[in-house]
Structure 1
Amino acid sequence: MTKATKLLTALPPPQRQRLMTLAREVSFPEDTRIFEAGGTADRFWVIRSGAVSLVQQVTSLRRVTVASLGAGDLLGWSWLFPPYRWDFGAEAFSPVRAYEFEARTVLKLCEEDPALGLTLVRIVAEILAHRLETTRGKLMEQYGTHRRVL
């Protein structure tokens, strides 16, 4: 398994600087729901400190953590793909500080600078591939554990 890609460090310095001109510093107290599955995905974050849990509602009473994110990690990718709805929910597991980016503004920057747009999409795709690989491993581990119990 490869090491997780960090969005800001993966961008070449000039592109990172252009993107960071759009950043806004935000914070979330522990246990804050940052967004809910199905909600409008109109922004994303790069976590500066703290921990965020990506959660999936499996029943009306049960939520399952599908991934844990920390410093340097991208939070939110659904802003890039129609229908622009969150696939998971996100909760602050601890106090979180992050850079927040408004999707519409970032997409406009990507239209103005296609090289930045292509680089950004490739990095997000790499992050998604890594998360899919990690999730698959967790599912296989859980399925294997479950099968042994049966």
Structure 2
Amino acid sequence: MTRPGVFGALTQEHREQLMTLAREVSFETGERIFNEGGRADRFWIIHTGTVALDVHVPGRQAAVIETLGAGRLLGWSALVPPCHWHMGAEAASPVRAYEFDAEAVREMCVEDPALDHELCTYVTGVIARRLRSARVRLLDLYAPHGAGEVP
């Protein structure tokens, strides 16, 4: 059976290595996990529940870009300098997650280039998917009908 999300992208050895740094946490429905622009010093792998990612839209309510569930990485910004949140996050349901200190993970990656490669490859894919989701969602919300269609 293939594991979903980040765990599926890592070898068993690297999953086990990463999990030595994990701390179990939980968030209640409606709890703000982080805000866009803040300092990003940790990240999470969602175990159960859902988290809504949002972006600030001046003069309007924050726009929900994507909803993340089990196995998904929350907080890639903590792994990529300058380590500031590019979006905000709020628990859309009760959430249980594994929390990681980003500095400790970055140090582990320096010591193990293969882990670094696997994690960077996965995070790059996450960034690309989230950028596309943000573009599509913002066009859906604010562009004239058909403005976002690709020829």
Residue 51 of structure 1 corresponds to: 50
Residue 100 of structure 2 corresponds to: 101
Residue 145 of structure 2 corresponds to: 145
For residue 25 of structure 1, report the CA deviation from its aligned partner. 0.6
Moved more, 137-146 or 43-52: 137-146
Residue 22 of structure 2 corresponds to: 23
SS in structure 1 at match of 2:84: coil
| Aligned equivalents of 1:137, 1:61: Cα separation in 2 | 18
Residue 40 of structure 1 corresponds to: 39
Residue 128 of structure 2 corresponds to: 129
- On the 8 A contact 2:54/2:63 being kept in 1, the answer is yes
Unmatched segments (≥5 aa) in structure 2: none
Residue 110 of structure 2 corresponds to: 111
**Number of corresponding residues:** 143
For residue 62 of structure 1, report the CA deviation from its aligned partner. 1.5
Q: 1:34-67: per-residue Cα shift (whole Å, max 9, x none)?
A: 0011111000001111111111121355211111
SS in structure 1 at match of 2:135: helix
TM-score by length of 2: 0.86
CA RMSD, aligned part only? 1.9
* Percent of residue pairs identical: 48
TM-score by length of 1: 0.86
Letter in 1 for 2:100: F
For residue 106 of structure 1, report the CA deviation from its aligned partner. 0.3
